[in-house]
Amino acid sequence: MTNNLTYAKSGVNIRSAEKFVKFISKFTSKQNKNKKQDNIGNFGSISKIPNNLKKVHLVASTDGVGTKIEIANELNRFDTIGIDLVAMNVNDILVQGGKPFIFLDYISINKINQKKLRDILKGIQKGCKISNCELVGGETAEMPGTYSKGKFDIAGFSVGLVEEKNILKKKNILEDDLVVAIPSSGLHSNGFSLVRYVLKKNKINFKKNKKLKNGY
């Protein structure tokens, strides 16, 4: 009877998960040719802190992309949401005065879909390249019963480095200081519950709106 009790019968495909991990390892190796440590597939990642920094501090951040995932599912487009995931994390490091150093991701999904996961990963890797940090590991969890068909969630964790003299402190922000605002390039990963509500209320079809679709 015990021979009939397998992960596959419970809805978890271990071989498919292993196949995706191998893809991650090969993909990140090509993207990060100069890295000395291959962390993909290990239980924890190992990274050497640069020795040219003085009084170095770690800056850590964790975040997700919220309900923008629902837009990705509606459009069936998953190659950009990984960029947003990285941005949501490294931006919180930058405003502390730090520089992004390493990034890890967490993907939970009802059933492993190689194309969907690879598209998400490519976006994550692109986000890491833009922010000059390295994807050093992560976790992919197949969770049938927790997520309905086609549903998934992603989260990220990032660590940055900052020298003590460069830490941006709240106490240095004073009344009458000048605030310089930089225009956003578009909607990213905050407030998408409101965005989706506005689209629905105004009966705007995201798929058919070329401007919105391209902006995604």
The per-residue pLDDT string of the chain (216 residues; one tens digit each, 9 = 90 and over) reads: 456 766 676 666 677 767 776 766 676 666 565 555 565 666 677 888 888 889 999 999 999 999 899 888 888 999 999 999 999 999 999 999 999 999 999 999 999 999 999 999 999 999 999 999 999 988 999 998 899 998 999 999 999 999 999 999 888 889 999 988 888 777 777 777 888 888 788 877 766 665 555 555
Contact assessment for residue 120 and residue 64, using Cβ atoms and an 8 Å cutoff: no
The CATH T-level fold of domain 12-29+53-163 is 60s Ribosomal Protein L30; Chain: A; (3.30.1330)
CA torsion sign for 209, 154, 121, 96 is: positive
Bridge partners of 32, per DSSP, are none
What whole-number distance in Å separates Cα of residue 36 and Cα of residue 87? 25
Q: Where are the domains of the chain?
A: 12-29+53-163
